[in-house]
Structure 1
């Protein structure tokens, strides 16, 4: 089967899983050959408000960069978050591969557990049970954004804020570390990332390419 045939064969699964799991379960099919507009099918999109043609997420991008799909068939039950919302999501990703075992797509499921968490807290309060602390060593949250521009902005802003300085006051080595951090997260797999990073770091595209080459 061709990559297109393989990916298209999973499209009915999007509606199938969503129909079984109900309105609090969003199901998304990503085509990884087009990261900036990877969403090719989605059901129950009221959860993250994303649309067909939307971009990949930060977590998925790092999975691709780190090649976790080489040793895993899927990653299940990690926390997710929607930009600007207080929703709590439980997310899972299944890797779809071609006949040469190259990952070409992802089937993702996001379950909105917000109401369940609120009910859990109410029950704990009624039972006077102590609240459990979140595990700071647990997996990072997946951040769901509605555009590639927003995804890039979040990546770069987070990397710059670690230094707690204005960009104009950053040293060359600090800018190199920011580029390294972004590269480690797979940011430069996105189209236009070099120019956006260069603009935010107040430098040139050529400088960013030089930093990447040095890495």
Structure 2
């Protein structure tokens, strides 16, 4: 590949920018040994548009694409079925890392960027495991998540949790319990699901119009 010239559209730039939040979140999840890079291929001589934990490779935003990453791009351009590559490599300090490079596709299915993850292995197993356990008591330790097989099960599970919360609160009068339950479900986004109003109404023994009324009143408050 002698050169790769592309001009990004507004939509292409929106797509690339949408990966920035993903990069930050993934780096926080995996910890400080995870370096994440987003390449904008409009300028290969300054392709790094974002890098998290770049101290591992000594790079920052505005750095050029590496020779190895450029060769991967060449392979992806030659083979439309190849859109990601996993491999092991070393940085200039001789530190080994496991790496992942994936194509970012823009309009007309063009490769407009690359999403790269480098996880450095020069970390003890103890340190790695500690990053996956809470370091202090916080509200996050009390978060639970239930995985369901369909949306109706999701609605009913949320309904049961809301009912437990409301029924355990002695300051909520009997006449207001359904209203508070609906408010809690709305805060969790349950009513964004298809047929949620009918499902919740049926299980609370009220009409769907009553559910809509409570939702309207909540939006006014």
The separation in 2 between residues aligned to 1:91 and 1:68, in whole angstroms, is 21
Change (3 A) 1:31 1:48: same
**Within-5 A mapping of 1:106-125:** 106-115=114-123
**1:73 — aligned with what?**
83
1:25 counterpart (15, 34, 46):
34
Structure 2: tracts of 5 or more residues without a match? 1-9, 126-221
The count of corresponding residues between Structure 1 and Structure 2 is: 116
Match of 2:207 in 1: none
User: In structure 1, how many angstroms separate the alpha carbons of the residues matched to 2:27 and 2:117?
Assistant: 9
Q: Which has the larger radius of gyration?
A: 2
Describe the SS at the equivalent of 1:79. Answer: strand
Which consecutive segments of 4 or more residues in structure 1 shift more than 6 A? none
C-alpha separation in 2, matches of 1:69 and 1:17: 28
1:10 is matched with 19
Task: Tell me if the contact between 1:63 and 1:69 (Cα under 8 Å) persists in the aligned partners.
Answer: no
- Structure-1 residue corresponding to 2:51: 42
The residue number in structure 1 matching 2:163 is none
What is the TM-score when the length of structure 2 is the normalising length?
A: 0.49
Quote the residue 1:197 is aligned against.
none
Q: In 2, distance between residues paired with 1:104 and 1:33?
A: 7
Task: Report 1:159-178 matches (<5 A).
Answer: none
Tell me the residue number matched to 1:62: 71
TM-score norm. by structure 1 comes to 0.50
**Counterpart in 1 of 2:161?**
none
Higher relative contact order (CA 8 A, sep 6+): 1
1:68 to partner: Cα distance: 5.3
What are the superposed Cα offsets for residues 85-143 of structure 1, whole Å, 9 maximum, x if unpaired?
A: 120111101110112111000110000112359xxxxxxxxxxxxxxxxxxxxxxxxxx
Q: Secondary structure at the match of 1:115?
A: coil
